[in-house]
């Protein structure tokens, strides 16, 4: 049995060597994996740094394109809204002008009715009177014959005042006349 014990000791030490070898192998593979992960991270960082500016510039260009598209869309919508507002304003102006015309017509009719009630002659009445006066004037001229043409000239001469011939009054300037009048 002593042999058996020795062999168990040998196998225990052999298993310990195997376990130690496996642990070292596992430790080595873990450190190699960690090293590879580290290098992959450093590589990714380097690539991101190199391509980051390109990516950033690409994103800026894409953003500008989107902004321009949005502005064009907003501009078109603003034009549509502006046209609609101008159309509505035009309709409102037309309605206001029509209403104002109707109001003006009603006012004129009422003023005309009031003038007729007061007995004030209208446009037609004045025209008729003017025509009648002209006819009567022409009949009078025909009845008087040549006297009618001389009469207005005589009236104008009589209406003029006689001029003083002997004395001339000294002229006053406008300032002196204004002072004496005051």
The answer to whether residue 97 is domain-embedded is no
The answer to whether residue 150 is domain-embedded is yes
Report the Cα 137 to chain-centroid distance in Å: 65
The answer to whether residue 136 is domain-embedded is yes
**101-145 tens-digit pLDDT:** 999 999 999 998 888 888 888 888 889 999 999 999 999 999 998
Contact 147, 154 (CB under 8 A): no
The answer to whether residue 9 is domain-embedded is no
Domains of the chain: total: 1
Predicted confidence at residue 85, as pLDDT, reads 92
The answer to whether residue 114 is domain-embedded is no
Burial of 11 per CB tally in 10 Å (0-12, 13-18, 19+): exposed
Measured distance CA(132)–CA(136) in Å, rounded: 6
The answer to whether residue 140 is domain-embedded is yes
Predicted confidence at residue 1, as pLDDT, reads 44
Q: Give the pLDDT means over successive 10-residue stretches in the chain (182 positions).
A: 49 70 86 89 83 83 90 88 92 93 93 87 88 95 72 50 50 53 50
Predicted TM-score (pTM) of this structure: 0.33
Predicted confidence at residue 56, as pLDDT, reads 81
Q: How many CB atoms lie within 10 A of CB 141?
A: 14
Predicted confidence at residue 148, as pLDDT, reads 46
The answer to whether residue 159 is domain-embedded is no
Beta strand extents in 65-132 (DSSP E only): none
Predicted confidence at residue 49, as pLDDT, reads 79
One DSSP character per residue, 43-78 reads: HHHHHHHHHHHHHHHHHHHHHHHHHHHHHHHHHHHH
Which residues form the domain of 150?
Answer: 122-154
| The residue to which tokens 């196998």 are assigned | 11
The answer to whether residue 143 is domain-embedded is yes
Predicted confidence at residue 166, as pLDDT, reads 47
Please compute Rg for the chain using Cα positions.
61
């Amino acid at each position: 049995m002593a042999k058996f014990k020795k062999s168990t000791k040998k196998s225990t030490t052999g298993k310990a060597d195997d376990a130690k070898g496996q642990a070292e192998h596992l430790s080595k593979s873990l450190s190699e994996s960690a090293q590879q992960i580290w290098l992959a991270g450093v590589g990714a960082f380097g690539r991101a740094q190199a391509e980051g500016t390109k990516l950033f510039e690409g994103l800026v260009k894409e953003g500008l394109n989107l902004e321009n598209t949005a502005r064009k869309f907003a501009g078109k919508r603003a034009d549509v809204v502006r046209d609609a507002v101008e159309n509505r304003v035009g309709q409102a102006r037309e309605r206001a002008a029509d209403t104002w015309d109707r109001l003006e017509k009603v006012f004129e009719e009422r003023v005309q009715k009031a003038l007729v009630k007061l007995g004030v002659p209208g446009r037609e009445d004045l025209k008729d009177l003017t025509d009648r006066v002209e006819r009567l004037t022409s009949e009078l001229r025909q009845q008087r014959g040549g006297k009618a043409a001389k009469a207005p000239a005589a009236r104008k001469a009589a209406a003029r005042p006689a001029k003083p011939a002997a004395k001339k009054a000294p002229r006053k300037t406008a300032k002196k006349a204004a002072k004496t009048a005051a």
